Amino acid sequence: MELGLKGRTALITGGDKGIGYGIAEEFAREGVNLHLSARDTAALEKAKATLTSKYGVKVDIYPRDLSKRDIRDQLARDCSHVDILVNCAGAVPGGNLDQVTEDAWRAGWDLKLFGFVGITRIIYKEMCKRKRGVIINIVGTGGISTSADYICGGPNNAALIHFTISLGGASVRHNVRVVGVNPGPIDTQRMRDLSKVAEEKVPPAELEQWRKNQHIKMAYGRPGRVDEVTGVVAFLASERASYISGAMLTIDGGLIARGGSGLGTLIEEEEKV
């Protein structure tokens, strides 16, 4: 399917690994020039080298801590000309109320909740002036399920879902679309790391059955692939999705539809910056 994205520009936060990098590669394949931001300079440089050599697109990188308001806002001003904004940076801690300290809670929300809102505020204003643009928020199914073991991340994501839908309903007056994606368990390094942490809490004698139970809950007995998310994001960024705004698409193999929320932090796929 021709998406007509060639020559456009996109800012992707959290674009150095996991879903964020997958989106960058999907866009590069379509001929989109990229602005990638994350904390890890080495990972960004590697991403730039790979994407430029493989797809011939222009890639600018911005090693930034987007939990810092002044740094975040400057990035948004530097990239306010982009056609597409993908907010993907986030590392909200898992755990229950006794396990998540207030400092960790605030740090997670500064990066993801206020990071998404702050960058959007600046770039959205410029898109409205130009009467064109697409903003895509990568949020997560933790915002539509409840789990005491994800007490910090769930409310964060619920707020972003509400933010995305509300803004997307108004943005069309300016010919700007705002949409979001809720990934469920996706096979990334972060999910594998979270799985290891969860496994440490399981008695050794019960570990094999626990692993089987996690996969039974997933569609096809496996987590999703990154490309099962990124293709959807590219479609949403294109004119093929020109009548979609103020909407969230859940990509979890029907897990939520089946009433599933027992994966704890594994249900939530959030890429570190």
Question: Tens of pLDDT along 202-232?
Answer: 777 767 776 667 666 778 888 899 999 999 9
For residue 221, the enclosing domain spans 9-267
Any domain includes 232: yes
- Helices within 200-250 (DSSP H only): 207-216, 227-237
Q: Is residue 243 part of a domain?
A: yes
**CATH code (residue 257):** 3.40.50.720
Residue 217 lies in a domain: yes
Q: What is the pLDDT of residue 265?
A: 40
pLDDT score at 216: 67
Q: What is the pLDDT of residue 210?
A: 64
Q: Is residue 17 part of a domain?
A: yes
Q: Where are the beta strands (DSSP E) in the chain?
A: 9-13, 33-38, 59-63, 84-87, 134-138, 177-183, 247-251
pLDDT in tens, the chain (273 residues): 789 999 999 999 999 999 999 999 999 999 999 999 999 999 999 999 999 999 999 999 999 999 999 999 999 999 999 999 999 998 888 888 998 999 999 999 999 999 999 999 999 999 999 999 999 999 999 899 888 888 898 999 999 999 999 999 999 999 999 999 999 988 876 666 666 656 667 777 767 776 667 666 778 888 899 999 999 999 999 999 999 999 999 999 998 888 765 444 444 444 334
Averaged pLDDT of the chain: 89
**What is the count of structural domains for the chain?**
1
For the stretch 147-171, pLDDT in tens is: 888 889 899 999 999 999 999 999 9
Residue of 161, 149, 160, 179 whose CA lies nearest to 243: 179
Residue 272 covered by a domain? no
| 17 contacts 192 by C-beta, under 8 angstroms | no
Does residue 1 fall inside a structural domain? Answer: no
Which H, E and C letters describe 161-185, residue by residue?
A: HHHHHHHHHHHHHHCCEEEEEEECC
d(CA 3, CA 84): 14
Alpha carbon distance 106, 103 (integer Å): 5
